[in-house]
Amino acid sequence: MCATSSILAKWTPVETAPPKADPLHNHSDKASMAKLLTVEDETAIRELLAFICETDGHEVVKAANLAEARVALRSGGLDLILLDVMLPDGSGFDFLREVRADGDNASVPVVMITARGDEADRVEGLDAGADDYVVKPFMPRELTARIRAVLRRASARPR
Ligand code: CA
């Protein structure tokens, strides 16, 4: 698609509005610190996702493909998974179904990362048990707000 440098330039967080009081940036609730797994094969995007999530107070485990994601899943303790769709060794949807069929991890929230305009991906993700989706390129504040909302819903639901 594009060269990595242009992706990075396009994805660099830009905050044009001055800081203001924002209920989405309330760090006092327990959803504000979680252990996240990011599954994304494009290094620039993976590092950006990790940077945004770490800046928001989360611990981040990074996976560049499904093999690394499976290792991270088995090691346990994940509070949420950020999952790209197109990965070098398979589809994010396949991994989502593996998570949902995994006794220990079936209830871990999954947020799919889909390409802009790819409605079919979003529908398939939600049908396969995704909790939410984020469209690339995303705004950092939208990403962190969606992560916190999903974590809050997950902590409120019965186990
Ligand atoms: Ca990808």
Please write the tens of the pLDDT for every residue from 91-120.
999 999 999 999 999 999 999 998 877 788
Distance (angstroms) between ligand 1 centre and the Cα of 100 equals 21
Distance (angstroms) between ligand 1 centre and the Cα of 81 equals 15
Structure pTM?
Answer: 0.80
So what's the pLDDT on residue 118? 78
Distance (angstroms) between ligand 1 centre and the Cα of 85 equals 6
| Three-state helix/strand/coil letters over the chain | CCCHHHHHHHHCCCCCCCCCCCHHHCCCCHHHCCEEEEECCCHHHHHHHHHHHHHCCCEEEEECCHHHHHHHHHHCCCCEEEEECEECCEEHHHHHHHHHCCCCCCCCCEEEEEECCCHHHHHHHHHCCCCEEEEECCCHHHHHHHHHHHHHHHHHCCC
